[in-house]
Amino acid sequence: MMLIGIDPHKSTHTATAVDPGTNRDQASIRIDVTLQEYQRMLDWALQWPQRRWAVENAKGLGHHLTSWLLARGEQVVDVQPSATARVRQLSRGAGRKNDRIDAAAAACVAAVQGDERPVQPENSTDALALLDEHRSNLAQARVRAVNQLHALLRALLPGGAPRDLSAAKAE
């Protein structure tokens, strides 16, 4: 089985295929963060019929790609950035860093150290939690806006805004 390490960034992702038997870098690809480019990376990875993806920080910058891969039936594991930093430090000396090395380090962690965690597809509970968080944020933003408007009216009108002030009256 080929391990494909991913080093995710906001606008690009780098994937590096590492042979788990030898821990050697076999190939690498860098893509932009778009659905079309995700497909290009998956097409590139199809040259290895048996593969597993090791995504550094799969719950953070790698979350969108991880969800996309899981939806296509791919095996994905999450690798902590601190674990890849250890691998870089031990294997390269002085912690040299670039995207291809980081992606290979994620694959090496998954192959050798066992520090990876399998990632499961999100379910309806995860979606509801996300919607609830968004609703809560919207409610807080509304309260903030009302408080700011109240403070502004207090500064502009003697005695502050009347208690029975409506939007029509304010207009």
What pLDDT is attached to residue 88?
A: 57
Q: Residue 45's pLDDT is what?
A: 97
Percentage of the chain beyond pLDDT 70 is 84
pTM for the model: 0.67
In angstroms, rounded to a whole number, what is the distance separating the alpha carbons of residues 158 and 45? 69
> Token pair of 19, please?
């042979």
Q: Residue 69 in contact with residue 53, Cβ under 8 Å?
A: yes
pLDDT in tens, the chain (171 residues): 899 999 999 999 999 999 888 888 899 999 999 999 999 999 999 999 999 999 998 888 899 999 999 999 999 998 887 666 666 555 555 555 677 777 787 777 766 655 556 777 777 887 788 789 899 999 999 999 988 988 888 888 887 777 787 778 777
**122-161 per-position pLDDT tens digit:** 778 877 887 898 999 999 999 999 889 888 888 888 877 7
Residue 111, pLDDT score = 62
Long-range contacts of 95-100 (CB under 8 A, 24+ apart): 99/7, 99/9, 99/12, 99/14, 99/30, 100/7, 100/14, 100/16, 100/25, 100/28
Q: Largest Cα–Cα distance in the chain? A: 78
